[in-house]
Amino acid sequence: MNELTLEWQEGSQLRQEIISQHQPSKHPGTIRLGRDPAQCDIVLSHPTVSGLHIEIFFSPPQDSFKVRNLRGESNPPMIDGQLLPEGEQFLSEGSTIQLGQMLLRVTEISSGVPPTVIMPPQAPIRSSTTPPAIASPTAPPTYGLKCPNCGHISPFERQNQPCASCGHFLVNAESVLIPPK
């Protein structure tokens, strides 16, 4: 049985989840991660994580686990320090997955068959909770809440308040990446 172990810090608590190849889930064949408990198998509470952010799945042809971006370019995950604006990426032991400002780490991958794909060396894991910088000479990424009613972007501090533009409450607003100016 192929399994992948994820670890991350949520508040003051260290959390760990084991994802197996044939694990029951809300979307068979994948394990979805995000803030929305109705759509996700692993729910992350940080406001910079999108409602439905990524999915992790086992790919039998490559005999490997992969991660797929479900956000497109609006709040892309970073895999091993590299933005994944679309598509899929292989995961290996030591891989890091950054969703908004949350950092998750693949601590173990177990398999009955040796891997057939040789992965390049991975970037070192940061000990800080500060997200790695995006390749931009200007400023680090910032995050906001996109109003589902009018599309106005508000700061996260307004999560439990109405949109300044239209008055719609932002409690279920989408988390988005705001490009540097």
Strand, helix or coil for residue 32: strand
pLDDT of residue 113: 53
> Could you state, in chain order, the average pLDDT of each consecutive group of 10 residues for the chain (181 residues)?
93 92 90 95 94 95 93 91 93 96 95 56 58 53 81 78 82 75 62
Per-residue pLDDT at 82: 93
Cα separations in angstroms, 125 against 8, 58, 154 = 12, 23, 31
All structural domains of the chain, each given as residue ranges with its CATH number in brackets, are 3-110 (2.60.200.20), 142-178 (no CATH)
pTM metric for this prediction: 0.65
| CB-based contact 108:93 (threshold 8 Å) | yes
Look at residue 149 in the predicted model and tell me its pLDDT: 85
Give CA–CA dist 15/27, Å, rounded. Answer: 22
pLDDT number for residue 130: 55
Report pLDDT digits (tens) over 86-134. 999 999 999 999 999 999 999 999 875 554 555 566 666 555 555 555 4
Q: Whole-angstrom Cα distance, residue 55 to residue 72?
A: 13
